Homo-oligomer: A and B are copies of this chain.
């Protein structure tokens, strides 16, 4: 497919575009070498587009695609007009499950396009056929899933064909996401609104990292299932693939456990602020259809208070200590306090039940996040039961780290006993246990993946990689989306998020942006996360050598796309700057 030919096609079709532009004063001109769409007042010129959105489809190497494809991208600058009613799908798979999945993502694709509502388009002579070939029957989404795809668009006369091939359904899903970004609305000269698709394209694409995540915290403040679904939508549109669900913390325990009903009885904020197992199942299936897996974190032994009060009444003793204790500054880092009681053997029986209940909600073999951050020694060191247990041992930091690692070993044993094998990967946050000098003593590198939450300048992630650990990076001073609203933290705008680079060594599974929940709930969480999480999405998918300045036009477009797809992504710039690329 020669570029000269494409340009010719482009001019040909663009001249048709101009005729059919609306009555507005403005047109857009693509300067291909600068990759910029410039707003001009409407002189007759065959190279003009009727809207910024149609110009952006084809202007610059990656047009309006987000994240930018990694292996190769060729886009024509011509557009093909069609009606949604004349778009059809073809699937080539012998496998029923695969075909069912493909039908469902095709339905979602149609729904997404219908939501950017074309009205009364009568052009049904032009047809678009999307054919999808999936080469394996693998339905699992994990760190080894091949999410790559190839995509080709060709136009012959009145027939536009989109050919997708991928090794897995997830690659095919990403391809459809890309196709949806090659389509825009278009007002034609009959006063109708139709869709247009880029008429020729060839894209080969695969992610740089297999773990591309967003952390949501539903313990500081509850998030409704419908709010969480909105985030999954945004992730799907940006090709993020892991929702890390920090579901409990010392403030609340909103996860209903069939075996342990006391956890929500004591720990939920109210009867309406509970996640039932049916909610979890529904969400997991909702997310899978959108290329997203859900990893559950039950943070422990610290960050565990409310929900755990019922031990004494049940004759099990204190399962957690320092719960809601005051003055909190003496017993924890953030109120309310609460830290599991590692010396109560009943705790591990309860943990086994807890893990069992959670595992039953998850796909077989799914990894599990055990938290493990911010154990606060003064709590344990002021608890008589623990002091008695330690007996003559000196109550030094090392003694308490040993106690903590004992807890971790017994918790892991409880987990393994619940799951019935010893090979589920476990994720832990960096902590005193993961310091380079001690981690090999405490945590097996074949069993634990370490999630780092240190500033960009900290060498810990690289040091852990050097020791042979696998890591997930959540760079604290760039990817913590709660910053800027408390203490001395500063807000990380999308450029800071985008420019954050994480280690490229193969032990780096990927990274996560973190939406800690102290200061967000349903009212504002959507615009706090979006579109900034999408900036991290391109870093994790494409990991370009360039920085935010080079991504600005596509990112501005992607923000508008998220909004048009129902996500309250916050504004990035005055609209004039969006409409006048490169002028601000």
Contact = CB atoms under 8 A, between A and B. Distances in A.
Interface of A: 24-25, 220-222, 251-252, 265-266, 269-271, 273, 306, 324, 326, 328, 335-336, 484-486, 490-491, 493, 517-521, 523-524, 526-527, 563, 568-577, 579-580, 583-584
Contact of A524 (B220, B266, B570): B570
Contacts of A486: 493
B523 A524 contact: no
B518 A270 contact: no
A571 B25 contact: no
Given A336-B580, A583-B326, A571 B521 contact: yes
Contacts of A576: 220, 251-252, 269, 306, 335-336
A144 to B, nearest CB: 37
Contacts of A577: 335
A336 B583 CA distance: 8
A575 B569 CA distance: 24
A23 to B, nearest CB: 8
Contacts of A491: 484-485, 491
A220 B485 contact: no
Copy count, this protein chain? 2
A526 B251 CA distance: 27
Contacts of A493: 485-486
A570 B523 CA distance: 6
Given A485-B493, A584-B335, A519 B573 contact: yes
A324 B580 CA distance: 10
Nearest to A574: B220
16 contacts: A24-B270, A24-B271, A25-B266, A220-B576, A222-B575, A251-B574, A269-B576, A269-B579, A273-B575, A326-B583, A336-B576, A484-B485, A486-B493, A491-B491, A517-B574, A523-B526
Contacts of A326: 583
B222 A524 contact: no
B518 A523 contact: no
Contacts of A563: 523
A480 to B, nearest CB: 14
A289 to B, nearest CB: 25
A521 B576 CA distance: 13
B570 A520 contact: yes
Given A220-B575, A269-B579, 16 more contacts: A25-B266, A221-B571, A221-B575, A251-B575, A269-B575, A306-B576, A324-B580, A326-B583, A484-B485, A518-B571, A518-B573, A519-B573, A520-B570, A521-B575, A523-B527, A523-B571
A410 B413 CA distance: 83
Contacts of A220: 574-576
Nearest to A252: B576
Nearest to A219: B574
Nearest to A519: B571
| Best-surrounded residue of A251, A523, A570, A577 (most CB of chain B within 10 A) | A523
Contacts of A24: 270-271
A528 to B, nearest CB: 8
A518 B574 CA distance: 5
Nearest to A269: B575
A252 B251 CA distance: 46
Contact of A575 (B252, B335, B485): B252
A252 B580 CA distance: 12
Contact of A523 (B252, B485, B569): B569
Contact of A574 (B221, B490, B583): B221
Contacts of A573: 518-519
Contacts of A490: 490
Contacts of A520: 570-571
| Best-surrounded residue of A270, A484, A520, A571 (most CB of chain B within 10 A) | A571
Nearest to A249: B574
| Best-surrounded residue of A326, A485, A527 (most CB of chain B within 10 A) | A527
